[in-house]
Homo-oligomer: A and B are copies of this chain.
Amino acid sequence: MKIQNDLLLRTIKGEEVERPPVWLMRQAGRILPQYRAVRASLSSFKELVARPDLAAEVTIQPVDELGVDAAIIFSDILVIPEAMGLDYEMVEKKGPVFPKVIQSASDIERLQTGEPAAEKLEYVYAAVKETIHRLDGRVPLIGFSGAPWTLLAYMIEGQGSKTFSKAKKFLYQEPQLAHQLLEKISTAIIAYLKEKTKAGVHVVQLFDSWAGLLSPLQYKEFSLPYINAICDAINEVPVTVFAKGAWFILKDLSQTNCHTIGLDWNTSVPYAREQLGPNKILQGNLDPCQLYAPVENIEEQTLSMIRSFGSGHIVNLGHGVYPDTPLDGVKAFVNTVKNYNY
C-alpha cells in the first residue's frame, strides 16, 4: 500500500526532505481525551493491549487529533516476558508487577522463546493489521519491543525500581545465567519483530529504557551484543534504537546495524553527532516537561531544537510524553514542526 505521508520513511532513508517528521513516544495514551474514554470503558490496561480493535483505535487517535507523521502501535514492552511464560499485572498508580520473577537456571529453562513465544502474541499482529487497514496509507506505522536488558530488568526485579539493584545484582552474581536469559529474550524479540513486520509495520523501535542504569562495562557485556544481534536480524524494515541514559555508549551504538538512534533530553546534538558520526538518523529530544511551558516558549524551544539538529532528524521528545501534559502544549509542539521548512 502506498503511504501518502511518507516523510518519516524518506527521512530514515537519508533523503532530502522539506521538514523533519514528528511523532511522540506514548502519543497513543492518556494525553488524549479519546484515549481516556476508551480506557474508561475497560476494566484494565492489559485488556486494551489485548483487544486488536481497540488497540488499533487508540493507535490512530493521535494521527487524527494531533496530525503526527507516524503512528506507533499501542501495546506494552512486557508482552514479551508474558509470551515467554512470565505473567505480569498492571497495577494502577504503581505500574507493572510480576507475581513470579526469574531466580534460577530452571526458571530460565522453563521460558519459551523464538516462534513459540512470538505465536502467543497473535493479538498484537492482529492489532497491527487492523491499524494498517484503518490507516489506509495515511502515515507509516511503527512497531516496537523492549530491549533485552530492559526486559530482563523487569523479569528479575519484578517491578519498576529507581535503581533496579536486584536485576543488576543478578548480572554481577550470575553472569552466565544472565546471558542465557538475555539470549532467550533476544530470540523471542527477533521472532516477535519479524511477525510484526509481516503484519505490516514500516519501522521498528527498540526501547532500552533502563540503559542508563548500567555502567559502560556492564552495558557492553549485557546489553549491546543483544541489541546488535537484533539489529542484524531485522532486515525487513529500518530499526531505531532508543537507549535512555546511555550517553556513554553512543559511539558503540553507531556501529550497530540500526538506522536511527533516539536521544534523551540530556544529550546535546553536537555531542551526539561527534559520537555517532554522520551515518545515523537522530530522533528526539525535547525535554517532555518542556510541554508544560507556555505555548510561545514551546514553539521557541522546538524551533531551537530543530535548528540544532539540522537534517537527518526525526522530531520527538527525549522520553515518553507525560500523561498530564496539556493537549495544547502537545499541539504547539507538533504544529511548530509541521509549519517548519528547512
A binding-site residues for B, Cβ under 8 Å: 160, 162-163, 165, 168-169, 171-173, 212, 215-216, 218, 245, 247-248, 265-268, 271, 287-290, 292-294, 297, 318-319, 322, 324
B168–A289 CB distance below 8 A: yes
Rounded to whole angstroms, the CA-CA distance of A289 and B274 in the bound complex is 30
A293–B172 CB distance below 8 A: yes
Chain B residue nearest to A293 (CB atoms) is B172
A266–B212 CB distance below 8 A: yes
B247–A248 CB distance below 8 A: yes
* Chain B residues, Cβ within 8 Å of A289: 163, 165, 168-169, 171-172
A265–B162 CB distance below 8 A: no
Rounded to whole angstroms, the CA-CA distance of A173 and B295 in the bound complex is 11
Which of these, B160, B247, B287, B294, contacts A266 with CB under 8 Å?
B247
Known: A212-B266, A266-B216, A266-B245. A290 touches B172 (CB 8 A): yes
* Chain B residues, Cβ within 8 Å of A292: 165, 168-169, 172-173
| Minimum distance in angstroms from A181 CB to a CB of chain B | 17
Rounded to whole angstroms, the CA-CA distance of A288 and B166 in the bound complex is 12
Rounded to whole angstroms, the CA-CA distance of A292 and B173 in the bound complex is 7
A168–B248 CB distance below 8 A: no
28 A-B residue pairs with Cβ-Cβ distance under 8 Å, sorted by A, are A163-B288, A163-B322, A165-B288, A165-B292, A165-B324, A168-B289, A169-B289, A169-B292, A172-B289, A172-B290, A172-B297, A173-B292, A173-B293, A173-B294, A212-B266, A215-B266, A215-B290, A215-B318, A216-B266, A218-B287, A245-B245, A245-B266, A247-B248, A247-B266, A248-B266, A248-B267, A248-B268, A248-B271
Rounded to whole angstroms, the CA-CA distance of A248 and B274 in the bound complex is 14
Chain B residue nearest to A289 (CB atoms) is B168
Rounded to whole angstroms, the CA-CA distance of A293 and B175 in the bound complex is 10
Rounded to whole angstroms, the CA-CA distance of A289 and B164 in the bound complex is 10
